[in-house]
């Protein structure tokens, strides 16, 4: 049985499924650790032309996704569930997604992701089914599909068994609140630049200390906001 299940409600299921069938997440799906189901909201349109949108009351540009097709899709994919799955609407109005929230969400058994499109979704559908709104940044995209795949990727890699070694995500950027230290591989010298001597010293305590200091240095330079005004020891 999968450790986590994602249901993505979208107008472009092939887009999401293609992205999430590759690399680490694709292998986790094939192994049965993670389940991802992409549902076409258009399948629940009662219109003979399969329309899912209409003009907004009060005027304004653009079209809104209708509440009935969204809620009918949700009802169909959650029918038989013992409890309502945690449902997230990908929206620029939401709280910004970060590693801490990814970790919290990785502990859930089932998550439904609602992808908006056009000018958004009728508020009644949001109020009816959504538990939280999440944004991946302060900019606007044409739809919620790319943000949805980002959430699935970030959350899934924290699920036990998805990565070969838990240390892979414990020591990378944001794993401990800092950016990741610089890393090097062969050749020892490349275009006149050598690998730092400490990394070939074999002295693991010195290596750990160097990596910690480099992580702090990079965080101070590139993302001082992560330090919250204090150095992490």
Catalogue all structural domains in the chain, each as residue range(s) with its CATH number: 4-156 (3.40.1280.10), 171-227 (1.10.1270.20)
Confidence class for position 230, pLDDT limits 50, 70, 90: very low
User: Looking at 55-122, which runs of residues are DSSP E strands?
Assistant: 64-65, 86-96, 110-115
Phi and psi torsions of 86, nearest 5°:
-65, 125
**Is residue 204 over pLDDT 50?**
yes
**Is residue 155 over pLDDT 50?**
yes
For residue 227, the Cα-to-chain-centroid distance in whole angstroms is: 23
> How far is Cα 233 from Cα 178, in angstroms, rounded to an integer?
11
| Cβ neighbour number for residue 163 with a 10 Å cutoff | 16
What's the pTM? 0.89
* C-beta of residue 178 within 8 angstroms of C-beta of residue 216: yes
Confidence class for position 164, pLDDT limits 50, 70, 90: confident
Q: Token pair for residue 16?
A: 């999401």
Q: State the pLDDT at residue 168.
A: 61
Taking alpha carbons only, the member of 88, 108, 111, 114 closest to residue 159 is: 108
Taking alpha carbons only, the member of 129, 148, 138 closest to residue 67 is: 129
Phi and psi torsions of 179, nearest 5°:
-70, 155
| Cβ neighbour number for residue 57 with a 10 Å cutoff | 8
* pLDDT per position as a tens digit, 101-141: 999 999 999 999 999 998 899 999 999 999 999 999 999 89
Q: State the pLDDT at residue 27.
A: 97
The H-or-E segment that residue 6 falls in is strand 4-10
Q: Token pair for residue 170?
A: 């414990």
* pLDDT per position as a tens digit, 170-194: 556 676 789 999 999 999 999 999 9
Q: Who's near 40: CB < 8 A, 6+ residues apart? A: 10, 11, 13
Q: Which residue has the higher pLDDT, 81 or 172?
A: 81
* pLDDT per position as a tens digit, 13-41: 999 999 999 999 999 999 999 999 999 99
Total number of residues shown for the chain: 233
């Amino acid at each position: 049985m999968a450790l986590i299940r994602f249901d993505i409600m979208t107008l472009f299921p092939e887009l999401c499924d293609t992205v999430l069938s590759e690399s680490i997440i694709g292998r986790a799906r094939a192994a049965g650790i993670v389940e991802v189901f992409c549902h076409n909201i258009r399948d629940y349109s009662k219109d003979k032309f399969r329309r899912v949108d209409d003009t907004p009351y009060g005027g304004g540009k653009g079209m809104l996704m209708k509440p009935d097709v969204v809620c009918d899709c949700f009802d169909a994919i959650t029918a038989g569930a013992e409890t309502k799955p945690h449902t997230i609407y990908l929206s620029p109005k939401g709280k910004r997604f970060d590693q801490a929230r990814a970790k919290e969400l990785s502990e859930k058994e089932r998550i439904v992701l609602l992808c908006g499109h056009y000018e958004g979704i009728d508020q009644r559908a949001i109020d009816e089914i959504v538990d939280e709104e999440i944004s991946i940044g302060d900019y606007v995209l044409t739809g919620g599909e790319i943000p949805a795949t980002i959430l699935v990727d970030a959350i899934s890699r924290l699920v036990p068994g998805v990565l070969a070694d838990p240390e892979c995500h414990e020591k990378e950027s944001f794993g401990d609140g800092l950016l990741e230290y610089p890393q090097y591989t062969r050749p020892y010298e490349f275009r006149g630049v050598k690998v730092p001597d400490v990394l070939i010293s074999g002295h693991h305590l010195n290596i750990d200390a160097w990596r910690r200091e480099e992580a702090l240095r990079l965080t101070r330079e590139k993302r001082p906001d992560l330090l919250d005004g204090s150095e992490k020891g």
